[in-house]
Chains A and B, each alone.
Chain A
Amino acid sequence: MDEITSVFIQESREQLAEMEAGLLRLEQNPDDHDNINGIFRAAHTIKGGSGVIECHFIEAFTHRVENLLDALRNNELAVSPPLATLLLECCDHMVSLIDVLAAEGEAPDADLGAKGDALTERLKGFLDGIGQPAEASANSELAVQDSTVEVESSGGGIVLTDSWHISVRFGENVLRGGMDPLSFIRYLASLGEILGIQTITDAMPVAAEMDPESCYIGFEIQLQTRSSKADIERVFDFVREDCDLRILPPNSKLSEYIKHIQELPEDTMRLGEILVRCGALTQAEVDQGLSEQKSSVEHAQPGDPTAASQLGQILVDHKVVHKEIVDAAVVKQAQVNDKKAKDARLVRVQADKLDQLIDLVGELVIAGASANLLAQKSKQVDLVEATSVLSRLVENIRDSALQLRMVQIGDTFTRFNRVVRDVSKELGKEIDLVISGAETELDKTVVEKIGDPLMHLVRNSLDHGIEPTALRLERGKPACGRVALNAYHDSGSIVIEISDDGGGLNKEKITAKALERGIIQAGETLSETEVVNLIFEPGFSTVDKVSNLSGRGVGMDVVRRNIQALRGAVDVASVEGEGTTFTIRLPLTLAIIDGFLVGVDKAAYVIPLDTVVECIELKNLPSDRNFMNLRGEALPFIRLRELFEIPGDAPPRESIVVVQFAGQRAGIVVDQLMGEFQTVIKPLGAMFRHLRGIGGSTILGSGEVALILDVAALVQTVTHSEQQLLPGRSHAAPAALSSNQFTQH
């Protein structure tokens, strides 16, 4: 695939995303004209681009969509829900078409083609509805010409006939005479307001014959002013002899414009176009005028059989160019500048280059740590100082390198606007999506993988969470349901919450179901949290009716597995009748972390610093129990020495590192504390994949290997084993550690 095509595909996908967002806004604010213009521009840019790369199936379809959008823009059609739905479907179809192009397909396959035809029919239906013939195809020029007259005459563009029209062609010698045509036009602008201006450079010869000191330039200007014709003429007094000046007073008749067009030296069609562009005439007027005089034109250009097709061609082009330029001449330019400036600030980089950079930074961190250690051993003050500056810089580099991979979660969230809209339509519920924390950043790879689980949870909330409208009213809730997505950072992880104000989880139903499926045993007493978290167990689904959205019973356990694969955790809390909140916790990024170095016997271990709450030094830890009283709260703990079966006796003074994960605390008993340490995580080999409690390894400055503890798994192990000890518990619910179970001891 050539470069321009791949760029087109990329750009189009962005444009389509914008278009979709715009269409969703359109439903909320049907009268937002800027928004409609934005949607139109997106479609238009895609059409233009597809023309450039000669991808006709996209061009043809987009053209039809554009026609409808054009009608919207000109207030010939009102925005209605079916119309918005149709446009969204068209938007989807365009995405599919782009996919076809991306797969280097020649044309869409039969299914897609049929879908496109069906959409075209519906588009036609809408266009017919406003009493104008729909354009059958972008390619048949004659049809275009016919219908364009009607399309445009019913409102095409801004027409400024209440202003002066000035045509000026400067003579060759103007520049040599020491005069700058631009300064005349600028002076002209001081008489009033220039509403439209077109620069005519058709007179310029090819490069070889062009004399840079000759003037080939001309202008078509639409000027609003109270000055008289004489005043306007006076502006050009200095070059009166050496320029061709024509002035049409405000509200001139159409025929005068047509006469004017034909008097000027440039090609008639091109001039018509120019006049439309600077707002002197509408396209329809030009067409009518010219077709009336068509015979005479043909006489004037005998033997030019292309004239007719040129007309069609120009009209097609014309619809393209004219809209953008006339409608928002000034705005447009500002936008071009803006977009360029914005794009100039962005650089697209391949993800693997970034990964490579991060790897290198990781090595740098290790090397830096090693240098630091040696410097300290050498006890040379200068060297220590130099290395400490170095390590500070390395730290900064590390942070910025990691920042490069961070993306805001907002884009992922906004995709759900569409989902919520579609699903709520399908279910016949009214649901609002509230997004907050969209600017929260997390690692790009994590963002990519969180989409599916999120989708499932959101659909679940829409389908099962929010009650039908009638039931909501009965319960005294507002008719419109609310689903919220929220994200924030919390001690080294990112937390994503999906909440709804629906019916909540029915605990009896869940318990009954769990019993039926054999997930729990009769007589087991579970806390409320434990009950609601049963929905994550494999094979669990409480819905009697299977819908096509969710509820096939393969949902929640898959969601949990996916999230665990990202080293995250998911949790649910629910108040019956008030709503349900799913909380997903994910690690921010994994390549490099700040660690806390601890020692057991001779080996060193790293605990992610984000999870460390405090360190306590304790003598005479009870050896028979696995929990202690920490300021009135029970703290379960684990001895690393025992966990990893390290031989030798514990020193008299042991330390406890209190760690926290997902709201649960646990203690890790170690021999000594060695302080903070910047760590690059090296994944363990496939052989050690099943090791629990170890997340990876790292290399210390001294060259020794230290293991990184997986705090999430450790905390779980601790609470799990603690529950095993409690009588009457065969089922271990991972999230069920609540401190009140222990305070009685």
Chain B
Amino acid sequence: MPSSQLLSITEDLTIYHALEQKQMLLDALAVTDELELNLAQVAEMDTAGLQLLVLLKKESQRTGKRLRIVAHSQAVSSVIDFCNMAAEFGDPLVIPAHEAS
């Protein structure tokens, strides 16, 4: 099982794609210990998209894996900031540590 895998999402994280994206994200998490999400290309994110990220985070915590969002687009970070979820997604102590290694 590869230790770390990078997944880039280029589509919008919205209700219109939520169904297929849920499966894709969970599949990606299933085959790795550490999933890196690149959301730099995500032009739009709504509640459904946020829920997916939360789900993925919870799932990774449940299974003892690591989920890291390595790049945010403006849209993503504004939603996360607005909802005050930055702390839930990124522990500042852990993030730089892994980027460093």
Contacts and interface: CB of A to CB of B under 8 A. Distances in A.
B100 A339 contact: no
A664 B35 CA distance: 62
B101 A7 contact: yes
The interface residues of chain B, by DSSP majority, are classed as: helix
Given A332-B86, A337-B77, A344-B99, A212 B48 contact: yes
24 contacts: A11-B96, A45-B93, A48-B93, A49-B93, A181-B47, A185-B82, A185-B83, A197-B84, A198-B84, A199-B50, A201-B51, A207-B55, A210-B51, A210-B55, A212-B48, A213-B19, A213-B48, A219-B83, A278-B84, A325-B84, A329-B84, A343-B100, A346-B100, A348-B101
A576 B51 CA distance: 74
A321 B87 contact: yes
A196 B83 CA distance: 9
Contacts, number: 121
A339 B87 CA distance: 13
Nearest to B22: A212
* 8 interchain residue pairs of minimum CB distance: A212-B18, A343-B96, A7-B97, A212-B22, A199-B83, A333-B86, A180-B46, A207-B59
A210 B18 CA distance: 11
A733 B59 CA distance: 75
A212 B91 CA distance: 25
Contact of B81 (A45, A181, A186, A333): A333
Nearest to A215: B47
Contacts of A4: 97
A45 B51 contact: no
A7 B47 contact: no
Interface of B: 15, 18-19, 21-22, 26, 46-48, 50-52, 54-55, 58-59, 62, 77, 79, 81-88, 90-101
Interface in A148-206: 170, 175, 180-182, 185-186, 196-199, 201, 204, 206
A212 B83 contact: no
A339 to B, nearest CB: 6
A413 interface: no
A294 B92 CA distance: 35
Contacts of A446: none
B54 to A, nearest CB: 5
B47 A182 contact: yes
B82 A186 contact: yes
A217 interface: yes
Given A3-B101, A7-B101, A175 B54 contact: no
Contacts of A339: 92, 95-96
A335 B92 contact: yes
Interface of A: 3-4, 7-8, 10-11, 45, 48-49, 52, 170, 175, 180-182, 185-186, 196-199, 201, 204, 206-207, 210, 212-213, 215-217, 219, 278, 321, 324-325, 329, 332-333, 335-337, 339-340, 343-344, 346-348
B81 to A, nearest CB: 5
A206 B59 CA distance: 7
A560 B88 CA distance: 55
B56 to A, nearest CB: 8
Contacts of B82: 182, 185-186, 197
A281 B91 CA distance: 25
A250 B18 CA distance: 38
Given A199-B83, A199-B85, A212-B51, 5 more contacts: A182-B50, A199-B84, A201-B51, A210-B55, A324-B87
B62 to A, nearest CB: 7
Contacts of A215: 47-48, 51
A160 B55 CA distance: 31
A346 B100 CA distance: 8
A484 B51 CA distance: 57
A216 B51 contact: yes
A95 B99 CA distance: 24
A146 to B, nearest CB: 28
A331 to B, nearest CB: 11
Contacts of B84: 196-199, 278, 325, 329, 333
A725 to B, nearest CB: 60
Nearest to B84: A197
Contacts of B97: 4, 7-8, 10-11
Contacts of A181: 47
B47 A175 contact: yes
Contacts of A329: 84
A487 to B, nearest CB: 28
Nearest to A184: B47
A332 B46 CA distance: 23
B38 to A, nearest CB: 12
Contacts of A343: 95-96, 99-100
A10 B85 CA distance: 27
Chain B CB within 10 A, most for which of A11, A201, A278: A201
A210 B48 CA distance: 11
Nearest to B15: A175
A185 B47 CA distance: 11
